[in-house]
Amino acid sequence: MLTKYGLDNIIILLFISVALIASSVFISKTWISSIFVGLGILLLVFTLWFFRDPERNIPEEALIDESLVLAPADGKIVQIKQVNEDIFLKQNAVQISIFLSPLDVHVNRVPISGVVKYFKYNPGNYLIATHPKSSELNEQTHIGMENSIGKIFFKQIVGIVARRLVWDINVGDTLKAGQRFGMMKFGSRMDIIIPETSEIYLKEGQRVVAGETIVAKIHNSQFTIHN
């Protein structure tokens, strides 16, 4: 299945792919014609791969237990650190950063069940997504959610290649954990920021799957990282 969030890009890229392949028929030189066909096929494969939107098995416990935090994006955890979050949580917190390569699924999913209490789009720079300052300086969206357990803050962040963020949520929306809410194009980063009392189940270097991997549990106890 292809994502609805990339429909405009998909139409344009498929048109270019077909045009390249079709134009090869009118080129007399075989080697040039082969190049056009090859480029068209490569672009077609890239389009179908990048904009794929596979179904995910949302953990039943995450739908029942509002304290469980799911990964909002596919990718690799590149950083877990303590921060002072003064936008939405307004307290000391833990930031978990996920880096998405161009080969990862780029459709984003809601990390917890709850209500959207805060949303803001912030224009910015295009540093490489693994850069520590990209979380602060790059173009991004800020999303704050709250449920019966507590609050969580997360960010869609563009990278040096990704230049567009897509979302379809608004303040006041009630969302379920694992629900699709947007996309980042074409390689990017997602930050999850949770209270410092949260329990972290993963460590830096591990890969996560959006809507399936449980990354943390929010509760009123000492902040710990399970290795």
| Domain positions in the chain | 4-50, 60-225
Instruction: Kindly name the residue from 67, 188, 198, 221 that is annotated as catalytic.
Output: 188
pLDDT of residue 136: 64
Share of the chain above pLDDT 90, in %: 72
Pick from 41, 38, 45, 48: which is nearest to 10 by CA?
A: 48
pLDDT of residue 224: 45
C-alpha 79/C-alpha 96 separation (Å) is: 6
135 is catalytic: no
With a cut of 70, list the residues of the chain below it in pLDDT: 124-137, 159-163, 187, 220-227
Residue-wise pLDDT tens digits, 36-77: 999 999 999 999 998 999 999 999 999 999 999 999 999 999
pLDDT of residue 222: 43
For residue 148, CA distances in Å to 172, 214, 216 come to 15, 18, 16
